[in-house]
């Protein structure tokens, strides 16, 4: 692992409760979706050499850590989140030598590399799973195998061990003729769940993680890591199995029950994470761990990320990106800002004394935030709302994550036809909900896909205005694996790189502010004007430094709400007095515009300001 070249926070400033302060307390992470980042060989897929070729861009942006979505060997059923060999690179992305080169070149620039770790499940083409099909093999109990329900014909509908549904549609059980039993998969049928109850499984996982750390990676982002512990009865039976002491949940509209209450944050979750910490990370320095955490509350986040408990450094919580829908992601609703503020306040309050927060609004599984909560209908509002949303997020306490293209204000794909989508979840959901269960119309589902499909974030990175946006050569014989967003002619890195008014330039300033101002990194966080429907406002405090962040997350001019207006008046000569430009820390418009707005106690559409009070 590389040493970190960013000054760390002094130990008299509390971060997550550890001493000394962790290096990542004032760092910023940049997520790369490798297949969509940079293609160097013209095959239509991004690759490791492409990432290496763009390291200077990332260094200029100022980020500290690069998180790579999976590049391991994989059949690519779920774009690499179905791993068939943890210790090799998929030829789609290159070779182990290419990975070593990327590590070396990143480390030369002071950038750390965090790999995606997918160990809740493997591919059904992994050697472990192939071996487990033989009940006499040592790997026989490495996955969740179960016989058909008594009195049924194995492989026929209704013979599944229980009624659990997969998050990707259909049953969560798949029949295997070789073994004559069903295996459990929370996601694709090509992603069987590993049985973490088996110590041999855990040992193999830890050995693999140590192998990568020894090779030079700087940590792991752990995919759905809070689903590894399943709830069973005293006889090891899952809920709803024949003879189980545990009752299953209700059947939903698609004809299946939800496994989440029995698989998320299970009874041995803390035990497994603590064991992982001891077996993999104890004795090492300079690493970072972050877990994707479905089913985890803000209060549980405090416990798991408290360094005294020896589990993980950070978690990704999801309540703030799950609430703006009508009970299911494919039925989106407009943003209710007071509700978002209450959720974010819960996150911040929970780790006020110990633990740490991850800050994100976008990733490879979420739509583009500027299309979701901003306004991408015209260029001016796209730029303004992208900056406003970035300011809102980055001024919170925790570690911010920037998803590739977010720093440019990239938008949703705006696909209009089903054949434009590539995402397994989206295609399966359309089939399940529209064609099989008939619980949503095709028209409604297409609206849902346009708003929430994971493919919105997976279109190629927009480097320039050329035919394929610079992702691959304009004369490449193979088109990109998914369509380039046509707005690359206007939205691209080449156009923004030297433009001081661009979204890119603003993100550079945001990232530098976190590095340079301890109050932004580690100061306390207090929500104000919680019920205002347009302005998101909060105070960051550290010692004598007090920073008020006010962001208008609407497309119209609004008055500053009462609490914010009163705080602004503290820095003015009188209750209605002017504001000094020296008090402006950062703003989405220029300082003069921010002064004029605050002096009038109002904010322009999508205007955000941080002011010393």
- Our measurement of the distance from residue 176's CA atom to the centroid of its chain's CA atoms, rounded to an integer in Å, reads 33
Answer yes or no: are the C-beta atoms of 285 and 321 closer than 8 Å. Answer: no
CA atoms in the 13 A half-sphere facing the CB of 91 = 2
Angle at 27 between CA 78 and CA 107, to 5 degrees: 75
Answer yes or no: are the C-beta atoms of 233 and 221 closer than 8 Å. Answer: no
Rounded distance between C-alpha atoms, residue 397 and residue 366, angstroms: 22
Closest Cα to residue 536, out of 497, 566, 563? Answer: 563
Rounded distance between C-alpha atoms, residue 76 and residue 318, angstroms: 25
Residues serving a catalytic function are 223, 292
- Which backbone phi and psi does 289 adopt, to 5 degrees? -125, 135
The residue to which tokens 């020296």 are assigned: 582
Rounded distance between C-alpha atoms, residue 598 and residue 559, angstroms: 9
Which alpha helices (H) appear in 277-400, and where do they start and end?
298-305, 319-322, 337-350, 369-372, 379-394
Answer yes or no: are the C-beta atoms of 210 and 276 closer than 8 Å. Answer: no
Rounded distance between C-alpha atoms, residue 65 and residue 401, angstroms: 9
SS3 track for 193-224? EECCCCHHHHHHHHHHHHHHHHHCCCEEEECC
Rounded distance between C-alpha atoms, residue 372 and residue 496, angstroms: 22
Q: What is the DSSP string of 428-478?
A: HHHIIIIIIS--S-HHHHHHHHHHH-GGGGTSPP--SSSTTTTTS-TT-SS
CA distances from 593 to 372, 470, 546, 581, 590 (A): 26, 35, 21, 10, 5
The tokens of 130 are what?
A: 């192939």
Pairing relationship of beta strands 29-32 and 584-587 according to DSSP bridges: unpaired
Rounded distance between C-alpha atoms, residue 300 and residue 145, angstroms: 30
């Amino acid at each position: 692992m590389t040493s970190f070249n960013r000054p760390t926070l002094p130990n008299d400033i509390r971060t997550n409760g550890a001493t000394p302060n962790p290096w990542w307390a004032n760092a910023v992470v940049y997520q790369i979706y490798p297949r969509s980042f940079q293609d160097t060989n013209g095959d239509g897929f991004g690759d490791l050499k492409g990432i290496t070729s763009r390291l200077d861009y990332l260094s200029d942006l100022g980020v500290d850590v690069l998180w790579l979505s999976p590049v391991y060997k994989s059949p690519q059923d779920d774009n690499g989140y179905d791993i068939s060999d943890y210790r090799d690179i998929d030829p789609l992305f290159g070779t182990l030598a290419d990975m070593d080169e990327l590590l070396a070149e990143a480390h030369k620039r002071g950038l750390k590399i965090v790999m995606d770790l997918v160990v809740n499940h493997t591919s059904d083409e992994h050697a472990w799973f192939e071996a487990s099909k033989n009940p006499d093999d040592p790997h026989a109990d490495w996955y969740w195998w179960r016989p058909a329900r008594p009195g049924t014909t194995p492989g026929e509908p209704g013979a599944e061990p229980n009624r659990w549904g997969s998050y990707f549609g259909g049953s969560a059980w798949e029949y295997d003729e070789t073994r004559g039993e069903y295996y459990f998969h929370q996601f694709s049928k090509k992603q069987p769940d590993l049985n973490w109850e088996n110590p041999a499984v855990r040992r193999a996982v830890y050995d693999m993680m140590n192998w990568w750390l020894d090779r030079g990676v700087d940590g792991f982002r752990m995919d759905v890591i809070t689903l590894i512990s399943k709830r069973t009865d005293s006889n090891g039976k899952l809920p709803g199995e024949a003879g189980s002491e545990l009752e299953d949940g209700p059947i939903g509209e698609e004809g299946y029950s939800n496994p989440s209450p029995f698989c998320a944050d299970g009874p041995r979750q803390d035990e497994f994470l603590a064991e992982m910490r001891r077996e993999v990370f104890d004795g090492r320095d300079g690493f970072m761990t972050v877990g994707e955490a479905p089913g985890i509350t803000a209060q549980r986040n405090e416990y798991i990320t408290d360094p005294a408990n020896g589990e993980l450094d950070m978690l990704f919580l999801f309540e703030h990106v799950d609430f703006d829908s009508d009970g299911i992601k494919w039925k989106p609703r407009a943003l209710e800002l007071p509700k978002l503020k209450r959720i974010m306040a819960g996150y911040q309050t929970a780790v006020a004394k110990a633990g740490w927060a991850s800050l994100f609004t976008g990733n490879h599984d979420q739509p583009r935030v500027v299309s979701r909560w901003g306004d991408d209908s015209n260029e001016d509002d796209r730029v303004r709302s992208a900056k406003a949303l970035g300011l809102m997020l980055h001024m919170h306490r925790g570690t911010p994550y920037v998803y590739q293209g977010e720093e440019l204000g990239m938008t949703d794909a705006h696909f209009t036809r089903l054949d434009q989508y590539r995402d397994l979840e989206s295609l399966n959901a359309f089939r399940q909900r529209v064609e099989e269960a008939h619980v949503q119309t095709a028209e409604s589902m297409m609206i849902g896909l346009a708003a929430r499909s994971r493919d919105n974030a997976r279109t190629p990175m927009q480097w320039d205005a050329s035919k394929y946006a610079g992702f691959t050569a304009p004369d490449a014989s193979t088109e990109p694996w998914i369509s380039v967003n046509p707005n690359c002619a206007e939205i691209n890195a080449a156009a923004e790189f030297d433009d001081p008014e661009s979204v890119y330039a603003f993100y550079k300033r945001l990232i530098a502010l976190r590095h340079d101002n301890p109050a932004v990194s580690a100061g306390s966080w207090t929500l104000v004007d919680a019920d205002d429907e347009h302005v998101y406002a909060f105070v960051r405090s550290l010692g004598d430094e007090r920073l008020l962040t006010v962001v208008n997350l609407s497309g119209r001019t609004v008055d500053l709400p009462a609490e914010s207006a009163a705080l602004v008046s503290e820095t003015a000569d009188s209750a209605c007095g002017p504001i000094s430009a020296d008090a402006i820390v950062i703003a989405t418009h220029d300082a003069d515009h921010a002064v004029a707005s605050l002096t009038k106690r109002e904010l322009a559409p999508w205007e955000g300001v941080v002011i010393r009070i």
